[in-house]
């Protein structure tokens, strides 16, 4: 019978293709516990220790004994190439079921039912999807012989990366009968997280190894202004070894930093959860492409949010630079720990700016849905046998994203007041009261974690020891190579004034494309008669927004001036410059008009008139507002945003036939621009080119 | 819901976790599980041991034609499916009871023995399951008149302080249960399908949350409608109640008819039928077979407690025999609660008990031999002496219910002996349930 150490070691050699390889401490013990005692085991080992060897060898042994395939739940989109090779050498056929290969699901399911697959890789998101579990996973789950959960620290409330999908996973694990062996792996967990995981799962053994990373050279640097940090990046990234990752806190910063680096001749790409490219069918495919680019060293850096990290495993990553400080030391260790896995020297530089604090405060404040939102949705569902998202959207004044957040938040509770069944959200007969205290406790914990990051940035002791201590590593010793150990920067702190000036200019020229809507909400426009897809000849062209509300470029001026009641000349000039020098719309507009407002009748027309003067074009007030409506910004979802505009605007007879520049101060959902553009086209105007000072869209 | 490891073991052995699929091992039937549980108990093995040790070792010494070690292993290997399914049940606020659970309804165990469902999925207040009540039975498609009557009846049962037990389906079931719940009474719904969907429906949610209602089902909460399951479910409605009222039955067909006839045959609870003009109606036919007319046309005039057996105590060995007999004796006599038990000469009573015992034995015999021949050892039961067993077996063979096989001695069920077939003359002919 398979399952003794020597035979397992033979499998290890086979997997690695190394004739005299032997187990690292802990590997055989883990395999033994899984295959011979069907235990539940939590393995805390640094990236690169060989966790996948453990589960592939265990899989091989169990399969040879006639067990079903291993289910691997991992945030990875696919197995890494080196893992695939190891699996191949063990004759392990591993299948991946994810959102990119939906068409293959029936064939993949059949392969599992035919006992042709040895391992099945799915993401936590899949496991949290009731339809997927019901129709794809459950029919084949009767055969699962081993359950592996990667990045298992995510199931903890205290984890830096609490994710609802993992919350669901905890409950699945809790309900796994004793005879299902389970392996949880993580490289990032302190004792509190481990205790929490142990509490939640019960009866799980913990195996823990040292987490110190000897090759990492650490440094911290406070540079409050974005322009200073951009300047630093552009001057120092080229001198960092190999390729690496620049972490930002928001998608917008990822885009902006990547754009800046590219302009300065550094090959970089932005990476975040919904990042898309027209050349790829969907975001997952593009993300895999980006991961490959970095892995194969075809770009200098990926500029990424936390979306890149979990499970991303590149042995020779040369550097991890943080453009903004992460929210906790655990997150930082997780991200910086990607560097220097299999090379002698790699750099981890944490830059911190003045906006970090504000961003984290926003994250903390929006981590949980409001009680009012929760109650509104529960009350709505209580009166029904089940509703789909679209029906919910029509009945409560919440954004689609807010509705989803509430439902996800509620549905990971167990028992939960809502459940998704047959495509509908249903109210279960479970009493519910939002646990405000728990939320407050978690929020306070986030604050403590953030303060810990501040301590790290200002630390005078060895930076590696600081990290190791927070992670409860047992014997941290000074690394002797970080900026604190050496008493001098490992990467120079200086940057040139010229770069800083250039960066400041860049920040002020970081306008965005403005895309109006194409498809209107059903039954929302009884007066205007719009329905379904707007015909091509009623759609607005792609326009421009000068800034984001309150950003480091123009956004702050826009916010100040809107409040003051008049937009300063600088902003009008900036708009004109953007249109003439950079956007250069085709066709060029021949006249200017604007979106009217009844509550502030002069603000926008004044802006549009002054812009028209600078552009040398006539201004025509061709759009009038004939009906008072609620402020558009209070309309939280698609249907409401559309319905709130029906019948509100009218086009006057002054409309001109040529291409027109349509001016507004702020855009959010872009519905106002969409509707006014369509009305202008209907009234005989040429192509409509929308332009605005700032976007307040929460998406960024 | 916290499912302990014993419940996990029972679920793995007896429950489907999704749609049944080709090549999938078939979960043990209630009777099969009863057989295995009996053996495990005898060996002093807890079911959860099967999860903790190699089942092949645990089961050493177990020999059974249908419950093979391979089948057991395959069933237990479905741990992953159970984990996924149980997570969803828990999330929806459902719970699971096994026969070992103190909250498991005593009436079911008492009346059905090994045939009682190994697990009950449920939602709502579980101790309603042990309160008995009045079963109200009828079809999904009932007349407006019948529905109105049923609704009044449900509300009257509630007003008089008893629970309504019904099937939770549309039509009569729903009218009866909602009638009771609207009166702030209590109800028990025994579902044959879609527990999850019904538990989240607007009409029952409030009562579930107010703890006035319990919904249970012996089947996977996600399972859709299945005729076989619906038929199998009917007996649990009767067995959870203390008396049953049939609103309208179609003669010789449908779940209402079959369930009522089964109850008459088994003598679980007194059976009453709503009065019906048509002498050829199913209701009339049920009266011919031992049911009693509800004479009061207005539910409010009814004293529902009088429908129940006064001796209806969980420990009285053979309930309902006398009541049924009293109705049979002259065809019109109504049961009179103030008279207590009907006086019968002791000998007659014994004869009845004996006949009743044989009927119960026969029922068990048919179930134990339903899938494969059974040895005398397997047919043994603690409440029957060896001599009595031999006598009854002989009689069962002579009446053509089973055939005796030799080397080794086993009893095989004869074909065309439908368990619930009313033309089954042997048991009906002498049965107390029928004149």
Does domain A509-695 correspond to CATH entry 3.40.50.2020? yes
pLDDT, averaged across chain B:
81
Residue A160 is predicted with a pLDDT of 47
Most confidently predicted of A78-92, A222-236, A362-376: A222-236
3-class DSSP state for residue B261?
A: helix
The pLDDT, as a whole number, for residue B24 is: 78
Weakest-pLDDT range from A320-334, A538-552, B150-164: A538-552
Please list, in sequence order, all residues whose beta carbon lies within 8 angstroms of the beta carbon of residue B284, skipping any fewer than 6 positions away. B276, B278
Structure token digits, residue B365: 């015999």
Shortest CA gap B254–chain A (Å): 28
Q: What percent of chain A has pLDDT over 90?
A: 54
- The phi, psi pair for A435, rounded to 5°, reads -85, 80
Residue of B nearest to A148 (CA): B80
| B324: pLDDT strictly greater than 50 | no
- Contact map slice: B 112-141 vs A, CB within 8 A: 123-124
B355 has pLDDT over 70 = no
Residue of A nearest to B201 (CA): A385
pLDDT tens track for A136-160? 888 888 889 999 998 888 777 655 4
Is pLDDT at B423 greater than 90 in this prediction?
no
Q: Which residue has the higher pLDDT, A409 or A510?
A: A409
C-alpha A49, offset from chain centre: 27
Report the topology of domain A371-433: Arc Repressor Mutant, subunit A (1.10.10)
**Selected residue with higher pLDDT from A215 and B325:** A215
Residues A421-439 as b or e (16 or more Cβ within 10 Å = b): beebbbbbbbebebeeeee
DSSP label at A133? I
Predicted confidence band at B35 (pLDDT cuts at 50, 70, 90)? very high
**CATH 1.10.10.10 domain range(s) in chain A:** 371-433
Q: What is the pLDDT of residue B1?
A: 55
**Which of A70-84, A244-258, A262-276, B282-296 comes out lowest in average pLDDT?**
A70-84
Decide the pairing of beta strands A346-352 and A319-322: parallel
Provide the 8-state DSSP code for A103.
G
Least confident of A11-20, A140-149, A299-308, B410-419: B410-419
Task: Identify the residue whose tokens are 């409506």.
Answer: A629
Q: How confident is the model at residue A523 (pLDDT cuts 50, 70, 90)?
A: confident
User: What is the mean pLDDT of the segment spanning A445-466?
Assistant: 95
Lowest mean pLDDT among A124-128, A465-469, A490-494: A124-128
Q: How far apart are CA A140 and CA B73, in angstroms?
A: 16
Residue B42, number of CB atoms within 10 A of its CB: 8
* Nearest chain A residue to B211, by CA: A429
Q: Which of A152-161, A320-329, B159-168 has the lowest mean pLDDT?
A: A152-161
pLDDT for the residue A341: 83
Contact at CB, B77 and A137, closer than 8 angstroms: no
Interchain pair B52, A137: CB under 8 A = no
Least trusted range by pLDDT, from A192-201, A430-439, B166-175, B334-343: B334-343
Judging contacts by C-beta atoms under 8 Å, the chain A residues touching residue B197 are 421-422
| pTM of the predicted protein model | 0.73
Q: Which of A136-150, A216-230, B304-318, B371-385 shows the lowest mean pLDDT across its residues? A: B304-318
Low-confidence winner among A346-355, A388-397, B208-217 (lowest mean pLDDT): A388-397
Q: Is the pLDDT of residue A69 over 90?
A: yes
Tell me which DSSP letter residue A533 carries. Answer: B
Homologous superfamily (CATH) for A5-208: P-loop containing nucleotide triphosphate hydrolases (3.40.50.300)
For chain B, residues classed under CATH 1.10.10 are: 353-430
CA distance B29 to chain A (A): 19
Query: Is the peptide bond prior to B322 cis by the omega test (within 30 degrees of 0)?
Result: no
- Chain B hits for A382, Cβ within 8 Å: 202, 205
- Identify which of B82, B90, B197 has the shortest CB distance to residue A177: B82
* pLDDT per residue as tens digits for the range B90-137: 999 999 999 989 999 999 999 998 889 999 999 999 999 999 999 999
**Res A24 pLDDT > 50:** yes
Task: Give the gap in angstroms from C-alpha A135 to the nearest C-alpha of chain B.
Answer: 9
Nearest to B81 among A142, A382, A416 (CB): A142
Q: Across the interface, do B201 and A385 touch by the CB < 8 Å criterion?
A: yes
With beta carbons less than 8 A apart as the criterion, state whether A244 and A62 touch. no
Tokens representing residue A168 in the block: 């669901």
pLDDT at A689 over 80: yes
d(C-alpha A516, C-alpha B272), whole Å = 70
Using the predicted structure, report yes or no on whether residue B348 has a pLDDT greater than 70. no
Identify the DSSP state of A581: I
All CATH 3.40.50.450 domain ranges in chain B, comma separated: 121-339
pLDDT beyond 80 at B52: yes
State how far the Cα of B396 lies from the Cα of B417, in Å rounded to an integer: 12
* A570 or B409, which is more confident: A570
CB B316 within 8 A of CB B425: no
Q: Which residues of A touch B52 (CB under 8 A)?
A: 178-179
Residue of A nearest to B17 (CA): A138
A chain contacts of residue B79, beta-carbon cutoff 8 Å: 144, 176-177, 179-180
B8 CB near a chain A CB, below 8 Å? yes
Q: What angle do CA B345, B351, B356 make, to 5 degrees?
A: 125
pLDDT at B353: 54
| Residue in A closest to B90 by C-alpha | A415
Please say if the pLDDT value at position A699 is more than 50: no
Alpha-helical runs (H) found in B64-171: 69-76, 79-91, 106-112, 144-159
Q: What is the pLDDT, as a whole number, of residue B382?
A: 62
Shortest Cα–Cα distance, A174 to chain B (Å)? 8
Which of B72, B420, B33 has its CA nearest to residue B254? B420
Ranges in chain A annotated CATH 3.40.50.300: 5-208, 216-360+453-500
User: Are A178 and B12 an interchain contact pair (Cβ–Cβ within 8 Å)?
Assistant: no
Compute the 3-state secondary structure of chain A and give helix, strand, coil in percent, each to the nearest 5. 45, 15, 40
The pair of three-digit structure tokens given for residue A624, joined into one six-digit string: 């009038």
How many residue pairs bridge chain A and chain B with CB atoms within 8 Å of each other?
134
Question: What pLDDT band is residue A577 in, cutting at 50, 70 and 90?
Answer: very high
Q: Which helix (H) or strand (E) holds A262?
A: helix A251-263
DSSP letter at A101? G
Q: Average pLDDT for residues B138-157, to the nearest whole number?
A: 93
- Identify all chain B residues contacting A421, using CB atoms and an 8 Å cutoff: 196-197, 200
Across the interface, whether the CB atoms of A133 and B84 are under 8 A apart is answered yes
**Residue range B353-430 in CATH 1.10.10:** yes
Examine the pLDDT at B419 and tell me if it is beyond 90.
no
A269 Cα distance to chain centroid: 15
Q: List the 315-374 stretch of B: residues with Cβ below 8 A of A.
A: none
Q: Does CATH number 3.40.50.450 belong to domain B121-339?
A: yes
- The Cα B370–Cα B364 span in angstroms is 10
Contact A297, A242 (CB under 8 A): yes
Weakest mean pLDDT among A161-175, A306-320, A562-576: A161-175
CB contact under 8 Å between A179 and B76, yes or no, is: yes
Q: Check pLDDT > 70 for residue B329.
A: no
Question: Of A71, A386, A419, which has the smallest distance from its Cβ to B92's Cβ?
Answer: A419
The percentage of chain B sitting over the pLDDT mark of 70, rounded to a whole number, equals 83
CB pair distance less than 8 Å for A178 and B5: yes
> Beta strand B119-124 with B213-217: parallel, antiparallel or unpaired?
antiparallel
Q: Are B222 and B250 in contact (CB under 8 A)?
A: no
Query: Helical H runs in A578-691?
Result: 603-615, 638-643, 671-682
Of B376 and A563, which is predicted with more confidence?
Answer: A563
Burial A129-154 (b: 16+ CB within 10 A, else e): bbebbbebbbbbbbbbbbbbbbbbbb
The whole-angstrom separation of Cα A332 and Cα A449 is: 11
DSSP string, A373-436: HHHHHHHHHHTSS-B-HHHHHHHS---HHHHHHHHHHHHTSSS-SEEEETTEEEE-S------H
pLDDT-derived band at B167 (thresholds 50, 70, 90) equals very high
CA pair distance A678, A539, nearest whole angstrom? 6
Whether B218 contacts B119, CB under 8 Å: yes
The gap from C-alpha B287 to its chain's centroid, in whole angstroms, comes to 21
User: Is B51 in CB contact (< 8 Å) with chain A?
Assistant: yes
Characterize the bridge pairing of strands B410-413 and B402-405: antiparallel
Query: Residues B105, B16: contact at Cβ < 8 Å?
Result: no
Work out the minimum CA distance from B3 to partner chain A, whole angstroms. Answer: 7
**B-chain residues within 8 Å CB-CB of A386?**
200
- Cα–Cα nearest to B203, from B168, B234, B158, B236: B168
Report the chain B residue with the minimal C-alpha distance to residue A146.
B80
As assigned by CATH, the class of the A216-360+453-500 domain is alpha beta
Instruction: State the smallest CA–CA distance between residue A274 and chain B in angstroms.
Output: 28
The least confident of A552-566, B22-36, B365-379 is: B365-379
Q: Which among B394, B421, B243, B397 has a CA at the least distance from the CA of B320?
A: B243
CATH 3.40.50.2020 residue window(s) in chain A: 509-695
């Amino acid at each position: 019978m398979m399952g003794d150490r020597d035979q397992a070691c033979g499998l290890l050699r086979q997997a690695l293709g190394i004739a005299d390889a032997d187990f690292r401490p802990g590997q055989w013990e883990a395999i033994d516990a899984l295959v011979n005692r069907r235990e539940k085991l939590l393995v805390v080992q640094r990236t690169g220790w060989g966790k996948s060897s453990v589960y592939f060898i265990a899989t091989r042994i169990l399969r040879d004994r006639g067990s079903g395939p291993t289910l691997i739940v991992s945030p990875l989109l696919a197995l890494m190439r080196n893992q695939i090779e190891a699996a191949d050498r063990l004759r392990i056929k591993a299948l991946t079921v994810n959102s990119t290969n939906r068409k293959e699901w029936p064939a993949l399911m059949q392969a599992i039912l035919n006992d042709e697959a040895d391992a099945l890789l799915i993401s936590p998101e899949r496991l949290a999807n009731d339809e997927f579990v019901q129709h794809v996973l459950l029919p084949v789950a009767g055969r699962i012989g081993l359950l592996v959960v990667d990045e298992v620290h995510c199931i903890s409330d205290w984890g830096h990366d609490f994710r609802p999908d993992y919350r669901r996973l905890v409950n699945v694990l809790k309900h796994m009968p004793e005879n299902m062996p389970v392996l949880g792996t993580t490289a990032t967990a302190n004792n509190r997280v481990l205790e929490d995981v142990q509490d939640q799962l019960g009866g799980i053994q913990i195996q823990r190894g040292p987490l110190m990373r000897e090759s990492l050279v650490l440094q911290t640097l406070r540079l409050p202004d974005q322009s200073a940090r951009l300047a630093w990046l552009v001057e120092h990234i080229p001198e960092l070894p190999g390729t690496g990752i620049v972490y930002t806190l928001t998608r917008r910063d990822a885009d902006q930093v990547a754009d800046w680096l590219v302009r300065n001749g550094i090959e970089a790409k932005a990476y975040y959860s919904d990042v898309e490219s027209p050349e790829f069918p969907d975001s997952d495919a593009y993300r895999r492409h980006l991961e490959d680019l970095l892995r194969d060293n075809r770009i200098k850096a990926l500029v990424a949010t936390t979306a890149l990290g979990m499970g991303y495993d590149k042995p020779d990553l040369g550097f991890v630079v943080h453009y903004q400080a992460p929210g906790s030391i655990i997150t930082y260790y997780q991200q910086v720990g990607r560097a220097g896995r299999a090379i002698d020297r790699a750099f981890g530089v944490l830059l911190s700016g003045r906006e970090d604090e504000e961003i984290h405060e926003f994250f903390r404040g929006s981590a949980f849905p409001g009680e009012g939102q929760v109650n509104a949705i529960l009350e709505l569902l209580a009166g029904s046998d089940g509703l789909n998202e679209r029906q919910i959207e029509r009945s409560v004044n919440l954004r689609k994203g807010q509705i989803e957040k509430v439902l996800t938040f509620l549905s990971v509770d167990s028992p939960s007041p809502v459940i998704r069944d047959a495509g509908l959200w249903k109210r279960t007969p479970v009493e519910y009261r939002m646990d405000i205290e728990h939320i407050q406790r978690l929020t306070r914990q986030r604050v403590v974690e953030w303060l810990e990051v501040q301590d790290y940035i200002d630390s005078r002791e060895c930076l590696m020891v600081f990290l190791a201590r927070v992670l409860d590593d047992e014997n941290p010793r000074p690394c002797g190579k970080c900026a604190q150990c050496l008493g001098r920067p490992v990467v120079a702190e200086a940057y040139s004034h010229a770069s800083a000036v250039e960066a400041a200019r860049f920040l002020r020229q970081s306008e965005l494309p403005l895309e109006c809507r194409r498809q209107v909400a059903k039954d929302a426009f009884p007066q205007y008669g719009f329905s379904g897809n707007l015909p091509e000849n009623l759609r607005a062209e792609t326009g421009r927004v000068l800034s984001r509300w309150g950003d480091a470029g123009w956004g702050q001026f826009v916010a100040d001036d809107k409040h003051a009641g008049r937009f300063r000349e600088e902003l009008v000039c900036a708009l004109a410059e953007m249109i003439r020098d950079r956007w250069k719309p085709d066709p060029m507009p021949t006249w200017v008009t604007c979106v009217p407002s009844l509550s502030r009748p002069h603000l926008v027309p004044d802006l549009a008139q002054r812009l028209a003067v600078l552009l040398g074009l006539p201004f025509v007030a061709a759009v009038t507002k004939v009906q008072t409506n609620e402020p558009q910004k209070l309309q939280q979802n698609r249907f409401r945003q559309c319905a709130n505009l029906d019948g509100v605007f009218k086009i006057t007879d002054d409309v001109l036939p040529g291409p027109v520049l349509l001016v507004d101060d702020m855009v959010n959902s872009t519905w106002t621009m969409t509707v006014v553009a369509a009305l202008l086209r209907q009234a005989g105007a040429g192509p409509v080119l929308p332009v605005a000072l700032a976007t307040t869209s929460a998406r960024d | 819901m916290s499912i302990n490891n014993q419940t996990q073991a029972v679920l793995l052995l007896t429950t489907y976790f999704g749609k049944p699929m080709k090549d999938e091992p078939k979960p043990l039937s209630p009777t099969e599980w009863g057989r295995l549980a009996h053996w495990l108990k005898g060996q002093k093995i807890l079911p959860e041991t099967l999860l903790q040790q190699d089942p092949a070792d645990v089961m050493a010494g177990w020999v059974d034609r249908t419950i093979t070690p391979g089948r057991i292993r395959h069933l237990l290997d479905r741990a992953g499916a159970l984990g996924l399914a149980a997570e969803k049940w828990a999330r929806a606020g459902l719970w699971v009871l096994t026969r070992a659970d103190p909250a498991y309804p005593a009436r079911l165990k008492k009346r059905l023995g090994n045939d009682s469902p190994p697990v009950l999925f449920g939602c709502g207040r579980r101790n309603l399951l042990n309160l008995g009540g009045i079963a109200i039975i009828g079809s999904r498609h009932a007349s407006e008149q019948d529905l109105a009557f049923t609704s009044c009846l449900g509300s009257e049962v509630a007003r008089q302080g008893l629970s309504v037990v019904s099937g939770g389906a549309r039509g009569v079931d729903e009218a009866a249960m909602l009638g009771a719940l609207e009166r702030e009474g209590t109800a028990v719904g025994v579902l044959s399908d879609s527990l999850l969907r019904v538990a989240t429906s607007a009409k029952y949610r409030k009562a579930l949350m107010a703890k006035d209602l319990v919904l249970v089902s012996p089947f996977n909460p996600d399972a859709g409608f299945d005729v076989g399951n619906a038929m199998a479910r009917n007996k649990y409605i009767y067995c959870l109640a203390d008396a049953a009222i049939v609103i309208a039955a179609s003669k010789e067909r449908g779940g209402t008819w079959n369930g009522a006839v089964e109850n008459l045959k088994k003598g679980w609870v007194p059976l009453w039928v709503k009065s019906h003009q048509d002498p050829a109606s199913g209701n009339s036919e049920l009266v011919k077979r031992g049911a009693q007319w509800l004479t009061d046309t207005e539910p409010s005039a009814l004293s529902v407690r009088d429908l129940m057996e006064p001796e209806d105590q969980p420990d009285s060995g053979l309930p309902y025999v006398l009541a049924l007999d009293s109705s049979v004796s002259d065809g019109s006599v109504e049961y009179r609660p103030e008279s207590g038990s009907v006086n019968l000469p002791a000998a007659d009573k014994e004869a009845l008990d004996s006949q009743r015992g044989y009927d119960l034995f026969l029922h068990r015999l048919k179930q134990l031999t339903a899938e494969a021949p059974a040895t005398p050892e397997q047919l043994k039961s603690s409440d029957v002496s060896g001599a009595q067993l031999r006598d009854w077996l002989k009689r069962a063979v002579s009446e053509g219910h089973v055939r005796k096989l030799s080397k080794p001695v086993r009893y095989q069920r004869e074909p065309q002996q439908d368990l619930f077939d009313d033309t089954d003359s042997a048991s009906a002919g002498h049965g107390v349930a029928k004149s």
